[in-house]
């Protein structure tokens, strides 16, 4: 497995989180990220099981995106006495699609597939686009797509790499409410088909409950609350159990429920 966050050492993991395969996909031990004297991540421990979908909530500055960047290998200025272990195949989806405007949709999807024959890569790219509902749009330019369609391309670009870990940093934050609902259904469908471990960073409590198997609340760089979402496949906001979990997570975030509309 790949080891990120230079200086941290790989070691056997005790009591691994159990995913669909009973294995650990992500193991974080003693992770520290500081800016000057301020610790954004403070001796953080976290595990994801293989095939587990985990959502990270937290107020601004709690360390959510910093943690994701460390797992993605995009932030090497971390320290600690433990480890950061991730699978070899990791994909990242950001809030903006980050498509190259001068490249057509299919070229964006297969960009960076090194060591794969061109025809094989393009066939895989077409298949991934079909999975996200964009079959036939391979030769479109990014500026011809809606915001939701651009995020579908971003998802296809991640899928074509067959990730064992998918990191998603508020991927639907810039979309309108109706498009977000559709993208939630699509992401969950793709997750059910491919079963990577997923770490979703979000500010949206309802989004976390709808999508995740487990929700983690970060506060001051540490895990304040962990909540398993035992609601089955149908996640209905009208379900009293959904409402109870929502209240619990809002309380953990320090949100006054009177200020939140149902």
Which string of b and e fits 205-237 if b means at least 16 CB within 10 Å?
bbbbbbbbbbbbbbbebbeebebebeeeeebee
CA distance linking residue 67 with residue 71, whole number of Å: 6
CA distance linking residue 110 with residue 31, whole number of Å: 33
pTM of the predicted structure, to 2 decimals? 0.86
Cβ contact 29:189 at 8 Å:
no
Domains and CATH numbers, the chain: 2-89+163-256 (3.40.50.300), 97-162 (1.20.1580.10)
Comparing CA positions, the residue from 177, 186, 228 lying closest to residue 204 is 177
Report the pLDDT value the prediction gives residue 31, as an integer from 0 to 100.
87
What does each of the 262 residues of the chain score in pLDDT, given as a tens digit?
455 443 332 333 333 334 444 689 999 998 888 877 788 888 899 999 999 999 999 988 888 988 998 899 887 666 555 578 999 999 999 988 899 999 999 999 999 887 788 899 999 999 999 999 999 999 999 999 999 999 999 999 999 999 999 999 999 988 999 999 999 999 999 999 999 999 999 999 999 999 999 999 999 889 999 999 988 777 888 889 999 999 999 999 987 665 555 4
């Amino acid at each position: 497995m790949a080891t990120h966050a230079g200086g941290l050492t790989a070691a056997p993991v005790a009591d691994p989180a159990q995913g669909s395969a009973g294995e650990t996909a992500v193991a974080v031990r003693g992770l520290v990220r500081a800016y000057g004297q301020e610790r954004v991540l403070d001796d953080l421990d976290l595990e994801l099981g293989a095939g587990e979908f985990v959502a990270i909530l937290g107020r601004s500055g709690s360390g959510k995106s910093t943690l994701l960047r460390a797992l993605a290998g995009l932030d090497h200025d971390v320290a600690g006495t433990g480890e950061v272990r991730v699978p070899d195949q990791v994909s990242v989806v950001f809030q903006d699609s980050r498509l190259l405007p001068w490249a057509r949709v299919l070229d964006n999807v297969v960009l960076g597939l090194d060591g794969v024959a061109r025809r094989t890569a393009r066939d895989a790219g077409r298949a991934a686009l079909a999975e996200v509902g964009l079959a036939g749009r391979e030769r479109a330019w990014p500026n011809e797509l809606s915001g939701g369609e651009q995020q579908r391309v971003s998802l296809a670009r991640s899928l074509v790499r067959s990730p064992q870990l998918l990191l998603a940093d508020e991927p639907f934050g810039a979309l309108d409410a109706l498009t977000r609902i559709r993208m939630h259904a699509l992401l969950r469908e793709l997750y059910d088909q491919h079963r990577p471990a997923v770490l979703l960073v979000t500010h949206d409590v309802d989004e976390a409950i709808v999508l995740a198997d487990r929700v983690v609340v970060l506060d001051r760089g540490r895990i304040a609350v962990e909540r398993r979402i035992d609601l089955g496949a149908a996640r209905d906001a009208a379900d009293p159990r959904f409402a109870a979990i929502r209240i619990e997570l809002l309380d953990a975030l320090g949100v006054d429920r009177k200020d939140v509309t149902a």
